[in-house]
Chain A
Amino acid sequence: MLLIPSLKSKTKKSEVGQIADPEDFYIPLDGYRNVMTPLVEIGNQVEKYQLLAACDGLFAASIHAPVSGIVKGTFNLNGKQFLHLQNDFRNRETLAAVIAMEEITQEQFAERLFEYGIEGAGGSRFPTGLKFKKNETPIKTIIVNGAECEPYLSADYALMKHHTAELLRAAVLIKKVLGAEQIVFAIEKQNKELEKLLLRSARENEVKINVKILPDSYPQGGELQVIKSVTGKELKKGSIPAQHGILVNNVGTLWSIYNAFFHSRPTIERIVTISGNRCANTGNYKVKIGTPIAHLLRETGNEWNPDEQMIILGGAMMGKAVSSPLLPIHKGSGGLLVMQKLRLESDNCIKCGACVDVCPQKLMPLEFVRFNQSGNTASLKDFNLLDCIECGACAYVCPSDVPLMENIFRGKDKLLKNA
């Protein structure tokens, strides 16, 4: 079990600030496992909340205009498509009619989640609507995942602290739609002070919830780990929680659900933690989807200096280093970190076994390196490489900086190609 010293104190106490809207938005047209097709053309005037792009298929998603403005076209960056929207700063809105929630069925609810472009806010960007598709096992337990195990991030914390009542209302709605038995808010021990807040708010709103305090270990926020901590069920990677009567939603997702069903607002913004060990001004901010990273850095007084720093979209453990300041915030970005560059050389593995000890999936990362380098794909499979959740705990503890994650990614590629 891995304990990472918390670095949340940098932003935990900060209020949720608002970042001024940029002039140009670059709306990501990729989703969980698909690409969206734009529904607007160059030169089109769009209004805030207007549907910009959608896609059909099972892993569908849609995206809406964060502001009113003019569509300038699409472009490709790092192999991904983006829609360029120029802000006209007039803030003209278009909103759908408020949904009558009394008679909404589970199917309709799921349908609406797609329509409102709601994706998993924890980072996966899994279309939330898919979790609400009907299945044989009725959902018993709704877990609200407030375990934000990434060391720098406090966006979920800020959300739970400042929007407690709204999250509760969304949770109650889900419970009603699914006919579930209980709502469990799962929070980490380091955020224990939220328990009081949640329980008080629940009392005031006459809602019944449970709060489960989880250990501060990493990666506690992973879906499988949360499910184990809350229900005691150890689900194999790839299994569907709904089939075990469990539904897990990130607090950020809940916030989107609240905005969608109580205010008819599609997801156009989220809370992002701006932090990192080389970050000049840290804090939590409401940021519109599609805001370029360069704008965020400028607004918070940080510089883009690729020679000395790395800019990470997401958390320090599972985020992605960004290659261009034009890349935007997407629905899964909980953080934007300015980090010191790491050394990229490795020493020899000394077989300390630390990677094996900390692996949450109980795998043997050092052996994956050996098997990958010797091209032994059969053993990669036998030793369950595909069960790896890519949390990076092994590489975090490795005293020799062995390229564990690189070999894991490459090994997975090989396995998926062979399959």
Chain B
Amino acid sequence: MPNMLLKASINPYLKARFSTVQIVMLDVVIALLPLVYVAWLAYGMMALQVIGVAVAAAMLADVIFSLIFLGKKDTLLDGSAVVTGLLLAFTLSPATPLYIVVFGSFSAILFGKIVWGGLGKNRFNPALVGREFMSVFFASTMSSSGIWKNNDLINTSSLHLFENSDTVLSNYLEGIFFKTSGALGEYSAICLVLGGVYLMLRNRISWHIPLSLLGALMLMLWLFGNDDVSFSTGGVLLGAIFMATDMPSSPTTKYGKLYYGMMIGITIYIFIIGGCRQEYMSYAILMMNGFSHQISLLFQPRVWGQKIDRKAKLEDVFMLTLKILAVSSAILTLYYYELIHYLVYIFVIYLIFKFNYSFSKQVDNTI
């Protein structure tokens, strides 16, 4: 089995420079750093504590669980735990109790990554898995108004970038640069977009998912009115740029990515009008994570010199769309009857079962 891992000396004998897993992760960290700074501006040490604890706990969990479950010692070097920790922290309130943050990081790494077989094999975004675990197991704290309404804790409430003028426009611009509401990663739309642009320039993410996601969401809002719809712009941007584009849990093909982003946008809208107040982003992305591989294969590129059967393809896409809409209404129903936590319990049992019977035996496979 182990030699399946090993490359034989087969062509090519040249490698792209700066193309390793570590550098990919480093790029994501670089893209996220401005957000850490913005969070610090807003809530000072408090924000840094949450972020720091989330990252440290994720790294610790990665070392411990990799050793126990995968028998691997050097997984920390790939840098993915840092990314998971950062992203998890960005979905939290700065007032989240630190022991809950530790719990979140541990479940993100264990149930988001390790029990699937390690880096790259997970089907769901680890940071969002961690977040869902937190909201299920610490439901009252995580949704309490004590955590989310914390105006008294704000360090810097506004940057006063446009002091000279006090128009609607300057207020709006200031809101884009810095607006302290919601979770730690949502304070600066500009920094979120900058991070996204950086990742696109470095070819770590492509424009397909963020743009189709935002486009679909805006189209839905425009088509069906937005009077009674409220959502966090920062949250949606964070999700669109950094969560939905998570490599292992999103499709690998261009058109697949377009469809995937579009369907996330649509399901976000469904969850918002269905009455989800905070979790719409997580639900939409996690749910679509489940379809991502199927989407990859369905939207395989047109092979060189071949024609595709458009009609058959369209039928397949239509059926898949129906399936996705059915699943999203099922999730909405569970949410409505407050049964989501059972879904998480089933997820845990399924994973333990799967790990014992198949995942642990494929740890050495690269795919």
**A residues lining the B interface (CB < 8 Å):** 4-5, 151, 224, 234-237, 239, 310, 312, 316-321, 337, 339, 342, 344-354, 356-357, 359-364, 366-367, 369-370, 373, 383-384, 387, 390, 392-393, 395-403, 405-406, 409
Residues of B within 8 A of A353 (CB): 247, 251-253
Contact A351 B247 (CB under 8 A): yes
Partner of B11, one of A317, A356, A369, A401: A317
Contact B8 A406 (CB under 8 A): yes
Render B152-169 as a binary contact track against A, CB cut-off 8 A, 1 for contact: 000000000000000000
B14 CB to closest chain A CB (Å) equals: 4
Residues of B within 8 A of A321 (CB): 9-11, 13
Give the contact stretch, choosing among B18-26, B31-39, B329-337, B349-357: B18-26
- Is the CB of B346 closer than 8 A to any CB of chain A? no
Give the contact stretch, choosing among B93-101, B116-124, B134-142: B116-124
B366 CB to closest chain A CB (Å) equals: 5
B27 CB to closest chain A CB (Å) equals: 11
Partner of B13, one of A337, A366, A383, A387: A337
Contact A367 B297 (CB under 8 A): yes
Residues of B within 8 A of A401 (CB): 7, 15
Contact B305 A397 (CB under 8 A): no
In the bound assembly, the distance between CA atoms of A4 and B121 in angstroms comes to 29
Partner of B305, one of A235, A319, A351: A235
Contact A317 B12 (CB under 8 A): yes
- Is the CB of B222 closer than 8 A to any CB of chain A? no
Give B297's nearest chain A residue, CB to CB. Answer: A367
Residues of A within 8 A of B15 (CB): 342, 396, 401
Counting chain B residues whose Cβ lies within 8 A of the other chain, the interface size class is 35 or more
- Is the CB of B303 closer than 8 A to any CB of chain A? yes
Render B249-260 as a binary contact track against A, CB cut-off 8 A, 1 for contact: 111111000000
- Of the candidates A235, A312, A339, the one having the most CB atoms from chain B within 10 angstroms of its own CB is A312
Contact A399 B12 (CB under 8 A): no
In the bound assembly, the distance between CA atoms of A360 and B301 in angstroms comes to 11
Q: Is the interface of B mostly helix, strand, loop or mixed?
A: loop
In the bound assembly, the distance between CA atoms of A390 and B11 in angstroms comes to 9
- Of the candidates B10, B12, B366, the one having the most CB atoms from chain A within 10 angstroms of its own CB is B12
- Is the CB of B248 closer than 8 A to any CB of chain A? yes
Contact B14 A346 (CB under 8 A): no
Contact A347 B13 (CB under 8 A): no
Residues of B within 8 A of A337 (CB): 13
Of the A-B pairs whose beta carbons lie under 8 Å apart in the complex, a sample of 22, sorted by A's number, is A5-B17, A316-B11, A316-B14, A320-B11, A321-B9, A344-B6, A346-B7, A347-B78, A348-B117, A348-B119, A351-B250, A356-B253, A364-B301, A384-B303, A390-B11, A392-B12, A396-B16, A397-B19, A399-B23, A400-B120, A403-B4, A403-B6
Contact A356 B252 (CB under 8 A): yes
Contact A224 B305 (CB under 8 A): yes
- Is the CB of B367 closer than 8 A to any CB of chain A? yes
Residues of B within 8 A of A151 (CB): 14
Give A344's nearest chain B residue, CB to CB. Answer: B7
Residues in B232-268 with C-beta less than 8 Å from chain A: 247-254
Partner of B248, one of A344, A351, A370, A402: A351
- Is the CB of B310 closer than 8 A to any CB of chain A? no
A233 CB to closest chain B CB (Å) equals: 9
A53 CB to closest chain B CB (Å) equals: 28
Given contacts A312-B13, A317-B14, A349-B120, contact A236 B8 (CB under 8 A): no
Contact A236 B306 (CB under 8 A): yes
User: Nearest 4 CB-CB pairs, A to B?
Assistant: A236-B305, A353-B252, A392-B12, A348-B120
Given contacts A317-B11, A346-B366, contact A236 B304 (CB under 8 A): yes
- Is the CB of B5 closer than 8 A to any CB of chain A? yes
Contact A361 B367 (CB under 8 A): no
Residues of B within 8 A of A347 (CB): 20-21, 78, 119-120, 366
Render B106-120 as a binary contact track against A, CB cut-off 8 A, 1 for contact: 000000000001111
- Is the CB of B321 closer than 8 A to any CB of chain A? no
Contact A369 B9 (CB under 8 A): no
B290 CB to closest chain A CB (Å) equals: 14
Residues of A within 8 A of B253 (CB): 353, 356, 364
Residues of A within 8 A of B303 (CB): 361-363, 384, 387
Partner of B367, one of A224, A317, A402: A402
